Amino acid sequence: MIKVSEALEILRGACAAGSTEMIALRESAGRVLARDVQSDVAWPPFDTSAMDGYAVILSDFAAGKGPVAERPGLVGAGAAPPAPLKKGEAVRIMTGAPVPGGTEAIVPVEKVLREEGAITALASPERGDHLRLRGESIQEGAVLLSRGRRLVPSDIALAALAGADPVHVYRRPRIAIAVTGNELVATTAKPGPGQLRDSNGPMLEALCRAHGAEATARLPVADEDDAVRRLFAREAADEDILVTSGGVSAGDLDLLPAEAQRSGFEILFHGVAIRPGKPVAFGRRGDKLWFGLPGNPVSTSVCFHVFVRLALDLLSGAEPAGPVFVSALLARPITIKGKRETYTDAVLSVADGTLRAKPMRSRGSHDLGAYASANALIRVPHGTETLAEGAVVDCLVLGDRL
Ligand code: AMP
Ligand code: MG
């Protein structure tokens, strides 16, 4: 049995970024950039006013000077740059309008007395007041967003000002999901004796989509040789990864690893020193990958977050790849059974300005009731037996819940 770190190394070696495509910028939230976005304009694009007011020259407002003449008309946003300011003149200007050359400050409209074509400032303006200078935020030619970035809405605003539309992104990984088990019935059915509803299939579809992949569900697979053989035989050309649940541990009906191998998959690992999720399997046939996740719902989810998320990020070109970990203080002691690297479901919250992780009182890897309230997984390193209250722990943030 290999360690989690070794399994993650194997994944890094087996997963590479796929092809790219151009898509409309407004459709790109959550997609990963395949090229840097460089700005072809400066921001602001011209010297501009931050307030509705007057463009002025400072010396006109020195102590003892009288009202300053107002140039007729006004400059609004979208207007062409007005003629330069002359001494003894103020130009009425709106927010976002180009300022006349020679402007040293903007006096907000609320800070002037306006009488008979002239203004008096209520307080002396200072150099640069309410002026936004061309390029002070972004210089022309600057790289605004780097390849590998998963786009969030503020990135889309940046890309928009840079004219990166359509935008070059990696294709979404395509995932096929298949659940296995004779005991499973559809979510729409009432389970008979010995049966239960398939919760992993809908969860895995949702997890894949929440992490930027396209997911399709295959028909459920019975614990029978023929059914499992058909599962691995069927080759959908556009699938990058087959993710299965169940059938990978050591029971008589756990048929998947042997059948995957018979169907030409190279098994890159089967069995990782992780709790929960020890029987997790990973294989490759050509450019198709297979994740065999154990069927207990908490194990399925933990293995998705620890292993499948890394693969999805690597296939989508996202950097850094894999889940985000944060440090928190343990809110109550925990004791670990066995030596495996352990992921304990927990609630992360801020108390007294400090991030704290409170482990759930879970009954095990079937305990979806407890798990559903968690927003993080505490990672307890391989070989650790106990952790005291107040210990600093690494927490995998369940991105879909925080
Ligand atoms: P397995 O990994 O196939 O040995 O399954 C382990 C446990 O997970 C068993 O109690 C199964 O009934 C349960 N299980 C397997 N698949 C699912 C599923 N799709 N939804 C909910 N529970 C499942
Ligand atoms: Mg099973």
Residue 294 CA, ligand 2 centroid: distance in Å: 8
Name the one residue in this structure whose structure tokens are 């343990």: 330
Which pLDDT value is given to residue 337?
A: 87
Could you say which DSSP state residue 206 is in? Answer: H
- Proximal ligand: closest to the CA of 198: 1
Residue 277 CA, ligand 1 centroid: distance in Å: 12
Q: Is 402's pLDDT higher than 80?
A: no
Which of 184, 204, 296, 366 maximizes ligand 1 atoms within 8 Å of its Cβ, making it the mutation to test the pocket?
A: 296
Q: Is 209's pLDDT higher than 70?
A: yes
Q: What percent of the chain has pLDDT over 90?
A: 95
CA dist 186 and 197 (Å) reads 6
Q: What percent of the chain has pLDDT over 70?
A: 98
Residue 300 CA, ligand 2 centroid: distance in Å: 12
Contact 205, 301 (CB under 8 A): no
Average pLDDT over residues 372-391: 96
Ligand 1 is surrounded, with C-beta below 6 A, by 179, 181, 183-184, 196, 198-201, 245-247, 249, 251, 294-297
- Proximal ligand: closest to the CA of 197: 1
CA dist 269 and 286 (Å) reads 16
Amino acid found at 157: A
Which residues lie below 8 Å from residue 387, measured CB to CB, with a gap of 6+?
Answer: 330, 333, 334, 336, 380, 393
Which of 196, 252, 278 maximizes ligand 1 atoms within 8 Å of its Cβ, making it the mutation to test the pocket?
A: 196
Which residues lie below 8 Å from residue 61, measured CB to CB, with a gap of 6+?
Answer: 68, 107, 121, 124, 125
| Burial of residue 78, with CB atoms counted within 10 A of its CB: 0-12 exposed, 13-18 middle, 19 or more buried | exposed
> What is the separation of C-alpha 230 from the centre of its chain, rounded to a whole number of angstroms?
35
Q: Is 50's pLDDT higher than 90?
A: yes
Q: Is 400's pLDDT higher than 70?
A: no
CA dist 328 and 348 (Å) reads 8
pLDDT digits (tens, 9 = 90+) for 29-38: 999 999 999 9
Beta strands in 57-172 (DSSP E): 68-70, 89-93, 105-108, 112-115, 118-121, 131-132, 143-145, 167-170
Lowest-confidence segment of 74-88, 227-241, 370-384 by average pLDDT: 227-241
Q: Is 238's pLDDT higher than 80?
A: no
Residues with CB under 5 A from ligand 2 (ion): 181, 246-247, 295
CB count, 10 Å around CB of 135?
Answer: 16
CA dist 270 and 315 (Å) reads 21
Residue 182 CA, ligand 1 centroid: distance in Å: 10
Residue 181 CA, ligand 2 centroid: distance in Å: 4
- Tokens describing residue 341: 């690297």
Name the average pLDDT for the chain: 96
CA dist 37 and 145 (Å) reads 5
**CA neighbor of 344 nearest in space, from 331, 214, 198:** 331
For atom 7 of ligand 1, which residue has the closest CA?
296
Residue 167 CA, ligand 2 centroid: distance in Å: 43
- Nearest ligand 1 atom to the CA of 251 is 4
Q: Is 189's pLDDT higher than 60?
A: yes
